[in-house]
Structure 1
Amino acid sequence: MTAKREPISRRERPAKPALTRRGIVDAAVRVMRSEGLEKVTMRRLAQELDTGPASLYVYVANTAELHAAVLDALLGEVDLPAENAASGWRDQLVAVLTSYTHLLFEHPQLARSALVARPGGANYLDLVERLLLLLSRSGAPREQVAWGVDNLLQYATATAAEHGTQERDPLSQDDWDALAHAVHGVDDAEHPMIKAHLPALLAGTQDARLSWGFDVVINGIIHTPLPEPAA
Structure 2
Amino acid sequence: MTNRPPLSRDRVLRAAIELADSTGIESLSMRRLAQELDVVPMALYKHVANKDELLDGMLDTVVGAIEAPGHDTDWKTAVRRRILSARQTMLRHRWASRAIETRQAPTPAVLAYLDSVIGMFRRGGLSVDLTHHVMHALGSRVLGFTQELYTTGPQAGPPPPELALAFPHVAEVAAAAAHENGSVVGSGCDDQFEFEFALDLMLDGFERLHEQRWTPGRS
TM-score normalized with structure 1 length: 0.65
- Which residue does 1:186 correspond to in 2? 164
- Which residue does 2:63 correspond to in 1? 75
Gaps (5+ residues) in structure 2? 180-188
- Which residue does 1:137 correspond to in 2? 123
How much identity, in percent, do the aligned residues show? Answer: 22
Gaps (5+ residues) in structure 1? 1-12, 167-171, 227-231
Match of 2:153, SS state, is helix
- Which residue does 1:40 correspond to in 2? 28
- Which residue does 1:56 correspond to in 2? 44
C-alpha spacing 1:91/1:202, structure 2 compared with 1 (3 Å): farther
Q: Based on CA coordinates, which of the two structures has the bigger radius of gyration?
A: 1
CA distance in 1, matches of 2:197, 2:85: 15
- Which residue does 1:66 correspond to in 2? 54
CA distance in 1, matches of 2:78, 2:14: 30
- Which residue does 1:209 correspond to in 2? 194
Q: Aligned pair count?
A: 200
Aligned-CA RMSD value: 3.9
Match of 2:164, SS state, is coil
How do 1:1-231 and structure 2 match up within 5 A?
18-85=6-73, 88-117=74-103, 120-122=107-109, 124-145=110-131, 148-149=134-135, 152=138, 154-155=140-141, 159=145, 172-177=152-157, 180-182=158-160, 186-187=164-165, 190-191=166-167, 193-194=169-170, 205-215=190-200, 217-218=202-203, 219=205, 225=216
C-alpha spacing 1:175/1:60, structure 2 compared with 1 (3 Å): same
User: Which piece of structure 1 moves more, 75-84 or 150-159?
Assistant: 150-159
The question of whether the paired residues in 2 share the 8 Å contact of 1:112 and 1:161 is answered with: no
The question of whether the paired residues in 1 share the 8 Å contact of 2:87 and 2:143 is answered with: yes
C-alpha spacing 1:68/1:160, structure 2 compared with 1 (3 Å): farther
